[in-house]
Chains A and B, each alone.
Chain A
Amino acid sequence: MIYVLGEPEDVDVLWVAVALRARGHDVEVVLPDELMFGSTMTYRIDSAAVTWTLRLADGRVLDPGTVDLVVNRLSGLPPDSGDLAPRDALFVAEEWRAALAAWLRTLTCPVLNPPRAASLAGPTLPEASWRDIAHAFGIPCAPWRSDRSDLPTEPVTLTCVGDRCIDPEAIAGEHTRRALIAVGAYVGAPLLAATLDRATTTPVLFGVDVFPELRTVGDALLDALVHQTAPGGGGA
Chain B
Amino acid sequence: MGCRKNLTRLTVAERQAYTNAVNQLKANGGYDRYVQQHQGAMGHGHGGPAFFPWHREYVRRFEEDLQAIDPSVSVPYWDWTQANVNAAGTESLIWRDDFMGGPGQAGSGAVTTGPFAGWGLIRSGFNIFGFPGTGGTIATFMSSPNYTTFRQVESPHGSAHVWVGGFVGNASIAPRDPVFWLIHSNVDRLWAEWINTHSATPGFQPYLPLSGATSGHNLNDTMWPWNGTTNPFGVLPWTVAPESIRPADLPDHRALDYFYDTVDPECRPVVKFRFKELKDRMPKEFKELLPKELGPKEFKERLPKEVSRKELKEQLPKEVVGKELKENLKEAGPKEFKEIREVPGRDPFIRPDLRPDLSGAALGFEPDFDVNLNPDIAALADSLTNRRGDLPHDQG
Interface set of A (CB-CB < 8 Å, partner B): 7-11, 14-15, 17-18, 22, 29, 31, 33-34, 37-38, 57-58, 75-76, 78-87, 89-90, 92-93, 124-128, 146-149, 151, 155, 157, 193, 195, 207, 209, 211-213
Q: Do the beta carbons of B171 and A9 come within 8 Å of each other? A: yes
By a CB distance below 8 angstroms, the chain B residues around A209 are 231
| Alpha-carbon distance A74/B321, docked complex (angstroms) | 55
Q: Which interface residue of A85, A147, A151 has the most chain B CB atoms within 10 A?
A: A151
Interface string of B156-176 (1 = CB under 8 A from A): 101100100000001111000
By a CB distance below 8 angstroms, the chain A residues around B228 are 151
> Whose C-beta in chain A lies nearest to the C-beta of B221?
A149
B window 121-165: CB within 8 A of A: 136-137, 140-141, 152, 155-156, 158-159, 162
B285 within 8 Å of A by Cβ? no
| In the complex with contacts A14-B381, A29-B384, A79-B155 CB distance below 8 A | yes
Q: Do the beta carbons of A58 and B387 come within 8 Å of each other? A: yes
| Alpha-carbon distance A75/B196, docked complex (angstroms) | 31
B window 344-396: CB within 8 A of A: 373-374, 376-377, 380-381, 384-385, 387-388, 391-396
By a CB distance below 8 angstroms, the chain B residues around A85 are 136
A and B contact pairs by CB, cutoff 8 A, 6 listed? A7-B384, A11-B377, A75-B42, A149-B221, A151-B227, A193-B231
The A interface, classified by DSSP as helix, strand, loop or mixed, is loop
| Alpha-carbon distance A17/B378, docked complex (angstroms) | 12
Q: How far is the CB of B143 from chain A (nearest CB, A)?
A: 10
| Alpha-carbon distance A58/B384, docked complex (angstroms) | 12
| Alpha-carbon distance A146/B220, docked complex (angstroms) | 8
From A18, A34, A75, A89, give the contact of B376 (CB < 8 A): A18
From B220, B232, B393, give the contact of A81 (CB < 8 A): B393
Q: Do the beta carbons of A10 and B42 come within 8 Å of each other? A: yes
B262 within 8 Å of A by Cβ? no
B230 within 8 Å of A by Cβ? yes
By a CB distance below 8 angstroms, the chain B residues around A8 are 170, 380-381, 384-385, 388
| In the complex with contacts A10-B42, A86-B137, A57-B377 CB distance below 8 A | no
Pick from B93-101, B208-216, B307-315 the stretch touching chain A. Answer: B208-216
| Alpha-carbon distance A96/B15, docked complex (angstroms) | 43
| In the complex with contacts A82-B395, A151-B229, A76-B47 CB distance below 8 A | yes
Q: Do the beta carbons of B394 and A37 come within 8 Å of each other? A: yes
Q: Which 7 A-B pairs have the closest CB atoms?
A: A82-B394, A9-B172, A8-B384, A86-B140, A81-B393, A127-B215, A86-B137
The B interface, classified by DSSP as helix, strand, loop or mixed, is loop
| In the complex with contacts A31-B384, A37-B393, A126-B214, A195-B220 CB distance below 8 A | no
From A38, A147, A149, A195, give the contact of B391 (CB < 8 A): A38
Query: How many residues of B sit at the interface, in one of the four size bands?
Result: 35 or more
Q: Do the beta carbons of B141 and A86 come within 8 Å of each other? A: yes
By a CB distance below 8 angstroms, the chain B residues around A82 are 393-396
> Whose C-beta in chain B lies nearest to the C-beta of A14?
B377
By a CB distance below 8 angstroms, the chain B residues around A15 are 377
| In the complex with contacts A33-B388, A37-B393, A18-B377 CB distance below 8 A | yes
> Whose C-beta in chain B lies nearest to the C-beta of A155?
B230
Q: Do the beta carbons of A37 and B392 come within 8 Å of each other? A: yes
Q: How far is the CB of B25 from chain A (nearest CB, A)?
A: 24
Interface string of B210-253 (1 = CB under 8 A from A): 01111100101110000111111000000000101000000000
Interface set of B (CB-CB < 8 Å, partner A): 42-43, 46-47, 136-137, 140-141, 152, 155-156, 158-159, 162, 170-173, 211-215, 218, 220-222, 227-232, 242, 244, 373-374, 376-377, 380-381, 384-385, 387-388, 391-396
From A128, A149, A155, A157, give the contact of B227 (CB < 8 A): A149
Q: Do the beta carbons of A78 and B393 come within 8 Å of each other? A: yes
Q: Do the beta carbons of A38 and B392 come within 8 Å of each other? A: yes
| Alpha-carbon distance A31/B383, docked complex (angstroms) | 11
Q: Do the beta carbons of A195 and B231 come within 8 Å of each other? A: yes
By a CB distance below 8 angstroms, the chain A residues around B136 are 85-86
By a CB distance below 8 angstroms, the chain A residues around B373 are 11, 14
By a CB distance below 8 angstroms, the chain A residues around B159 are 79, 81
| Alpha-carbon distance A80/B111, docked complex (angstroms) | 28
| In the complex with contacts A9-B171, A10-B42, A126-B215, A17-B380 CB distance below 8 A | yes
Q: Do the beta carbons of B391 and A37 come within 8 Å of each other? A: yes
| In the complex with contacts A11-B377, A18-B377, A124-B213, A149-B231 CB distance below 8 A | no
By a CB distance below 8 angstroms, the chain B residues around A78 are 158, 393
> Whose C-beta in chain B lies nearest to the C-beta of A32?
B388
By a CB distance below 8 angstroms, the chain B residues around A17 are 380
Q: How far is the CB of A112 from chain B (nearest CB, A)?
A: 16
> Whose C-beta in chain A lies nearest to the C-beta of B230?
A155
Q: How far is the CB of B225 from chain A (nearest CB, A)?
A: 12
Question: Other than the known A37-B391, A38-B391, A126-B214, what 20 A-B pairs have Cβ atoms closer than 8 Å?
Answer: A8-B170, A8-B384, A9-B42, A11-B377, A14-B380, A22-B376, A33-B388, A75-B43, A79-B158, A80-B393, A80-B395, A82-B394, A83-B396, A86-B136, A87-B140, A92-B395, A124-B214, A126-B213, A127-B215, A151-B242
